[in-house]
């Protein structure tokens, strides 16, 4: 199995209607979901020394996530405030990353050497990592960055030239506008994949300029928190894991069945999208991004 690392944000999602906080955050979710899928998963980020930070750290550790090279600072851990509307999570506020924004990751040579050992590095627009991408890119096998719905052309141009996969959330956009934006992202320098999640409309995925569409596996959701993150994690880990060490057969081998990398890639992408939709629906049966709620007072 491949090795993956979530780099950047962790938070607690505070559900204001139940006074319960759940561990989460885009980069941490990636590590947790990859671990659930059987991958060797690590996380590198910043924790606060408050009750929220302690909760996220201890849960992550108990799940078997490797936390080497993490930083710890005095102050509030990142948090978001959330409410549920018919199972759909709605963000209503945050502390803008807490200690992560005050003490953004400044990666040392030792950190970058460590990160270079992973097959996938996943980060996000919430991770305060933009200035480090130029240093990471030459030493990373595959960098994935989630832009959520918080992107501008200027921001995409700044980041995409350093990454292999860009993910965007665009449930309110028309498909023709989404596809146009996906091609723009590739033109900005993104090297390999663009993933566009569209909520109940499923996902569009552009791989080496070939477009795929995947319907969602719809269920009666308990909580949609993490639906997009889990889809992205399952697709990328499935795709990268299955595309390792593939080669075109020689002409002497014949042409029966699958003999070319491009043919195999097409099958892998479709299978990985199917499994990603299944996994995403499973995550929607959890409270929070992946459970482990704890009461909080304020």
Catalogue all structural domains in the chain, each as residue range(s) with its CATH number.
3-291 (3.40.1190.20)
Report the distance separating Cα 73 and Cα 45, nearest Å: 11
C-alpha 48: how far from chain center: 22
> What average pLDDT score do residues 76-86 get?
91
Q: What is the DSSP letter of 66?
A: B
Q: Three-state SS for 213? A: strand
Q: Three-state SS for 279? A: helix
Q: Output the pTM of the full model.
A: 0.96
For 86-100, what is each residue's pLDDT tens digit?
777 788 889 999 999
> What average pLDDT score do residues 206-226 get?
96
Cβ atoms of residues 205 and 273 within 8 Å: yes
Q: What is the pLDDT of residue 92?
A: 84
Q: What is the pLDDT of residue 267?
A: 98
For 13-47, what is each residue's pLDDT tens digit?
999 999 999 999 999 999 999 999 999 999 999 99
C-alpha 181: how far from chain center: 19
């Amino acid at each position: 199995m491949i090795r993956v690392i979530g780099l950047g944000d962790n938070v607690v999602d505070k559900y204001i209607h139940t006074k319960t906080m759940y561990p989460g955050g885009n980069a941490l979710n990636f590590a947790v979901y990859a671990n659930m899928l059987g991958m060797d998963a690590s996380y590198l980020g910043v924790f606060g020394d408050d009750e929220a930070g302690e909760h996220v750290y201890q849960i992550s550790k108990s799940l078997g996530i490797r936390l080497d090279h993490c930083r710890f600072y005095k102050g509030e851990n990142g948090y978001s405030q959330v409410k549920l509307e018919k199972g759909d999570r709605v963000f209503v506020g945050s502390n803008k990353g807490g200690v992560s924004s005050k003490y953004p990751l400044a990666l040392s040579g030792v950190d970058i050497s460590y990160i270079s050992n992973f097959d996938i590095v996943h980060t996000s627009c919430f991770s305060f990592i933009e200035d480090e991408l130029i240093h990471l890119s030459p030493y990373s096998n595959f960098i994935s960055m989630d832009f959520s719905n918080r992107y501008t052309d200027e921001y995409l141009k700044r980041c995409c030239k350093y990454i292999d996969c860009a993910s965007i959330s665009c449930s309110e956009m028309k498909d023709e506008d989404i596809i146009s934006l996906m091609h723009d992202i590739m033109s900005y320098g993104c090297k390999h994949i663009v993933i566009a999640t569209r909520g109940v409309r499923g996902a569009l995925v552009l791989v080496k300029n070939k477009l795929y569409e995947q319907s969602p596996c719809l269920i009666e959701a308990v909580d949609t928190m993490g639906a997009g993150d889990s889809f992205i994690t399952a697709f990328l880990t499935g795709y990268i894991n299955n595309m390792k060490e593939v080669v075109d057969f020689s002409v002497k081998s014949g042409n029966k069945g699958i003999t070319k990398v491009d043919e195999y890639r097409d099958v892998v992408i479709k299978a990985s999208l199917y499994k990603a939709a299944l996994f995403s629906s499973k995550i929607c049966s959890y409270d929070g991004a992946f459970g482990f709620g704890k009461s909080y007072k304020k």
